[in-house]
Structure 1
């Protein structure tokens, strides 16, 4: 209960509905998902730790953590890794108040292995059979050729945050787990934000993808889900999704890491010991769905939260205006979101379709320049989209420096497939950014474990209207 109270306090003014309310209000959802073969979570895969012919084991005198490697690994490398791990461990479990990773019952310490040529990873070692809810211990593997510096500190913080998640909510879908761990690592080692430029570029370069897509760019995602390591594209996309959790924490959290910590505390799962996959119910999006119900405004839902993020991700890196996520300014041009259309003022009606139809939680962007627009002219927009998807739309007014002057959101009902708006008072705007987000099928709440999501297309018709019209 103490952890629950801390998590609730960290979220601030937003009220979180506990698991009991989730079960009461959604008792039919598991049955629906089971009928469609969607019930469950990611695969439960145990990974054996590296073995060494002549092992050296170096342990911290301050925290329950040991570095294990071959004796041929330089002592300076071992001590640098141990020092980095101590700093990350102390900050994660201290200032950020995350639970400490479970220790190995034989060594009574959390193990970090250094093996040459290995990809940095934290993987499942064993489940805690005594716990009433899912709980697991893990271990971390790093390349024995690591060097001291920001990269090591950021990597270590990310992997230890992942280990803490294995203890608290091991059923969390892989993409959300990696995104959350990456975001938490930036709180521990802020210099690591600039090192994520490639991940941000991949994530922002494909805004149509689902935020939690663990198989970005994969030809056969149903097979790729079981493989490790993920493809380079998938890994970059999942790490780039740290933008989502960063935005939630920056805009709605009271304490650093508070939103992430709350999703861990409020998503306990129970998976049978012989199950091949985790039972990730409720998942992190179930927590967000109830957390943000009526939280942003009267009648607001998670769809409004997704639209807020879709707008915010247009102001990353060099596009930052100081009001959305300024801590990501260091990624520069890598933060630019891909536009579906960059068009002049529509003196005559014009119709546009997406370059890539967005999957659930994916978004689309149209940038309209005001150059040559008559004074007092208005912008008329008529939008339609495919059935079995709820789209939310916002029109963001920008000045000549790219700062947001204001936004207008089109109200849409749950079953709507079209929307219209006339935008006025545009004389002070240099550009208008049209942002649309696919919030998923209203009949089936978004589940990050679905793994394959159906994209839906849209058509936007734009036309100029003069003030006398």
Structure 2
């Protein structure tokens, strides 16, 4: 077979001349003229336009919550930097911050980093060396308005992500500094994981992680503040001050549903991740509340029933705790018992004929918040019944639950009123029995009423409209026998 002629040979020159002639001929045929607009494929019947219209009308379009882009936060000025030898982490501080404080912060952050790594949480998005290091930056500052700082959204991740940094207080004692730095680091990692999630959910999750790591419920045990004000929501709305009270709910539900420590909450954050494919702003759904409702629903543990159970569990905390209390209640500590806003005795209620004791004024309760009453029934006649009536405002669903307690605070049993759609009224007849000395009553605002039974309408904490409503309870003691002469005198309330 003859080999092709080399470049510059007579054969190559002949082909080049032929191609030149062909190009000139094509130019003469109009190939070099300016191309007109593409008319698209021929569609004499208009089927293409008809199909496009059908897809546009019937296709899925985003109509959920929209959140604005996050503005970048300025990084604090620093003079001291301590880098970890165990992880890509650096602690930054001003010149007047002591070495012991910086070292304590580093220990806390390293421990939290190890926990997140062990449980498979996604790594933080790299910040491009904004802090002068290749790792994650934690700043010790005097004024901590928000513990998680934001740099910018990630342009190369499939799901919504962003680079972030952490701020931790520099004025606390060494032990508190370690916990607060670990909490701040966790919160900033959560901001990197989902920039659209509510700050209160980040605080709650960070406090939950801090409790598992250190035994403390976040920085200065901030999650326990919700125990002191149980009528407030676990997760406040966007126009309210962020809190970490949702850590209590996460701890309670984790114990009910997980077999491996930490997997329940980590799975919620995975499920709540979203992709805003438009590239501007953030889609506010799914959020952590929606992820939580979905997990509980498919686990045959309805959200309303779970919140109702947690409401009574958290009341029997602190000094009211008994050996039968859930493990997470024991972790709240001895001073975490929520107050009963009403404490009274059945001696204040007439029994013959039955009459009503109405409690004024009605109290306003946030969604998922609970009002507690404690009634002493030791002076009631045998075989008495305590009738509990609930009258709540319209617009939300209400839960009415009670627990019967012995003289030593031991729980004897609990019951709840069935849900009644369309009416905010509930009623429970409580058979006291011989051992019942106290009756604990929990009235919980469950938020907006469900339109259908399967889905629980979770609070939209990205919005500014709270579904706080007022409620009133009425009590009636009914007995067929007079009270015995040696009835149990009124004792101090349990806890």
TM range (shorter): 0.7 to 0.9
Alignment CA distance shift 1:51-1:62 (3 Å) = same
1:415: Cα distance to partner?
2.5
1:318: Cα distance to partner?
2.1
1:452: Cα distance to partner?
3.1
| Structure 2: gaps (5+ residues) | 1-58, 452-456, 483-495
- 1:110 is matched with which residue: 123, 136, 145? 136
| Pair 1:274 & 2:280 matched | yes
- Does the CA-based 8 Å contact 1:210-1:362 persist in structure 2? yes
- Does the CA-based 8 Å contact 1:319-1:335 persist in structure 2? no
- Does the CA-based 8 Å contact 2:183-2:218 persist in structure 1? no
Looking at structure 1, the residues matched to 95 and 469 of structure 2 have their Cα atoms a distance apart, in angstroms, of 55
SS in 2 for 1:166: helix
SS in 1 for 2:76: coil
Q: 1:80-91, aligned counterparts within 5 Å?
A: 80-91=104-115
Looking at structure 2, the residues matched to 196 and 69 of structure 1 have their Cα atoms a distance apart, in angstroms, of 20
Give the equivalent residue in structure 2 for 1:258.
263
**Which moved further from structure 2: 408-417 or 71-80?**
71-80
Q: 1:28-177, aligned counterparts within 5 Å?
A: 31=63, 39-41=65-67, 44-52=70-78, 55-70=79-94, 73-94=97-118, 96-106=119-129, 107-116=133-142, 118=144, 121-149=147-175, 151-177=176-202
| Pair 1:414 & 2:427 matched | no
- Does the CA-based 8 Å contact 1:396-1:406 persist in structure 2? yes
- Does the CA-based 8 Å contact 1:307-1:394 persist in structure 2? yes
Looking at structure 1, the residues matched to 170 and 70 of structure 2 have their Cα atoms a distance apart, in angstroms, of 27
1:378: Cα distance to partner?
1.3
1:328: Cα distance to partner?
5.3
Calculate the TM-score normalised by the size of structure 1: 0.78
Looking at structure 2, the residues matched to 56 and 343 of structure 1 have their Cα atoms a distance apart, in angstroms, of 59
SS in 2 for 1:259: helix
**Which moved further from structure 2: 374-383 or 446-455?**
446-455
Give the equivalent residue in structure 1 for 2:6.
none
| Pair 1:457 & 2:470 matched | yes
1:193: Cα distance to partner?
4.0
1:440: Cα distance to partner?
1.0
- 1:365 is matched with which residue: 355, 363, 372? 372
Looking at structure 2, the residues matched to 437 and 28 of structure 1 have their Cα atoms a distance apart, in angstroms, of 36
Looking at structure 2, the residues matched to 133 and 332 of structure 1 have their Cα atoms a distance apart, in angstroms, of 39
Looking at structure 1, the residues matched to 248 and 211 of structure 2 have their Cα atoms a distance apart, in angstroms, of 11
1:116: Cα distance to partner?
4.5
- 1:385-422 Cα offsets, whole Å, 9 max, x none, are 22211111111111112222211111113323222232
| Pair 1:383 & 2:390 matched | yes
- Does the CA-based 8 Å contact 2:313-2:329 persist in structure 1? no
Give me the CA root mean square deviation: 3.0
| Structure 1: gaps (5+ residues) | 1-26, 216-220, 226-233
1:109: Cα distance to partner?
0.4
Looking at structure 2, the residues matched to 352 and 461 of structure 1 have their Cα atoms a distance apart, in angstroms, of 6
- Does the CA-based 8 Å contact 2:387-2:477 persist in structure 1? yes
- Does the CA-based 8 Å contact 1:344-1:368 persist in structure 2? yes
1:453: Cα distance to partner?
0.7
- 1:362-381 Cα offsets, whole Å, 9 max, x none, are 11112111121001111222
**Which moved further from structure 2: 325-334 or 158-167?**
325-334
- Does the CA-based 8 Å contact 1:340-1:355 persist in structure 2? no
Looking at structure 1, the residues matched to 420 and 445 of structure 2 have their Cα atoms a distance apart, in angstroms, of 13
1:134: Cα distance to partner?
1.0
Q: Which one scores higher on RCO, CA 8 angstroms, separation ≥ 6?
A: 1
- 1:142-183 Cα offsets, whole Å, 9 max, x none, are 34445432x122112211221231232222111111111111
Looking at structure 1, the residues matched to 261 and 126 of structure 2 have their Cα atoms a distance apart, in angstroms, of 25
**Which moved further from structure 2: 68-77 or 255-264?**
68-77
- Does the CA-based 8 Å contact 1:340-1:366 persist in structure 2? yes
Looking at structure 1, the residues matched to 140 and 481 of structure 2 have their Cα atoms a distance apart, in angstroms, of 72
Alignment CA distance shift 1:111-1:196 (3 Å) = closer
Calculate the TM-score normalised by the size of structure 2: 0.74
- Does the CA-based 8 Å contact 1:101-1:137 persist in structure 2? yes
- 1:13-43 Cα offsets, whole Å, 9 max, x none, are xxxxxxxxxxxxxx99974xx6xxxx23587
- Does the CA-based 8 Å contact 2:207-2:219 persist in structure 1? no
- Does the CA-based 8 Å contact 1:317-1:330 persist in structure 2? no
Give the equivalent residue in structure 2 for 1:20.
none
Give the equivalent residue in structure 1 for 2:287.
283
- 1:210 is matched with which residue: 226, 233, 250? 233
1:256: Cα distance to partner?
2.5
- 1:84-103 Cα offsets, whole Å, 9 max, x none, are 32222112322x33233333
Give the equivalent residue in structure 1 for 2:405.
398
Looking at structure 2, the residues matched to 313 and 371 of structure 1 have their Cα atoms a distance apart, in angstroms, of 24
Alignment CA distance shift 1:156-1:390 (3 Å) = same
